[in-house]
Amino acid sequence: MARSMKAARQATRKKTAPKPKPRAAAKAKAVARTPARKAAPARKAARPTRAQAVPAAYGSITPHLIVSPAADAIAFYGKAFGARPGLLMEGPGGLVMHAEVKIGDSILMLADELPPRGPGPQTRRTPKNLGGTSSGVMLYVKDVDAAYARAVDAGGTGVMPPADMFWGDRYCQIEDPFGHIWSIATHLKDMTAKQMKQAGMAEMAAMPPPQA
């Protein structure tokens, strides 16, 4: 009798056992059917970056000066303008074939007088040895008066002391020991082209007439 009652209870439990939820069963079947993931393919080697047509460190135009001795010029530009030395390519006899210094955010290229090599200009001379110059360098600074004094103290020659100019700059000129003329300025005010033209005409009208 006891055994029959026990069997009856077990049968009742089997009938009343909760059935699995449809969603859980479907999810279990889906997981069982999902094939094992394949290993990810190896990444391709990164392509080499393409060189920039205009290197980031340079502007569109970079001045190039012939100076001798170039080593002395590098030292002078450091004292006078705070130039930081960069690339240096030495040639035979200790001459500088190519050098670069950075002044502010700009690069200046320079080289010694060198014997002619191949085609092209055969008169690469410093202004002093050539007897003149047809170019100059323009340099903007925060304090033109201090820059002028610093350049003269370093060995430059004052050509024009700092003065306020009609185009809105405080401006001066110095000649470096190698014959190049440096114009140095601090911008004081923005002016339109019309305002500069009118100020320039007034400036010329106030000048004494040229002597015959």
Q: What is the CATH number of the domain that holds 82?
A: 3.10.180.10
In a domain, 108, yes or no: yes
Split at pLDDT 50, 70, 90, the class of 67 is very high
**How many angstroms separate the CA atoms of 76 and 82, rounded?**
9
In a domain, 33, yes or no: no
Share above pLDDT 70 across residues of the chain, in percent, rounded to a whole number: 76
116 vs 109, more confident: 109
Tell me whether residue 47 is in a domain: no
Total domains in the chain come to 1
32 versus 129: the higher-pLDDT residue is 129
For residue 94, the enclosing domain spans: 64-117+126-204
CB 156 within 8 A of CB 182: yes
If you compute the radius of gyration of the chain from its CA atoms, what whole number of angstroms results? 40
Provide the percentage of residues in the chain whose pLDDT is more than 90: 55
Any domain includes 56: no
Is there a domain that residue 17 lies in? no
91 inside domain: yes
134 pLDDT band, cuts 50/70/90, is confident
The answer to whether the CB of 110 falls within 8 A of the CB of 104 is no
Q: Is residue 92 part of a domain?
A: yes
pTM: 0.72
Q: How confident is the model at residue 24 (pLDDT cuts 50, 70, 90)?
A: low
Residue 12: inside a domain: no
The span from the CA of 120 to the CA of 114, in Å, is: 13
Q: What per-residue confidence (pLDDT) applies to 47?
A: 76
The pLDDT of 77-84, averaged and rounded, is: 97
Whether 21 has a pLDDT exceeding 70, the answer reads no
CB-side neighbour CA atoms (13 Å) of 42: 2
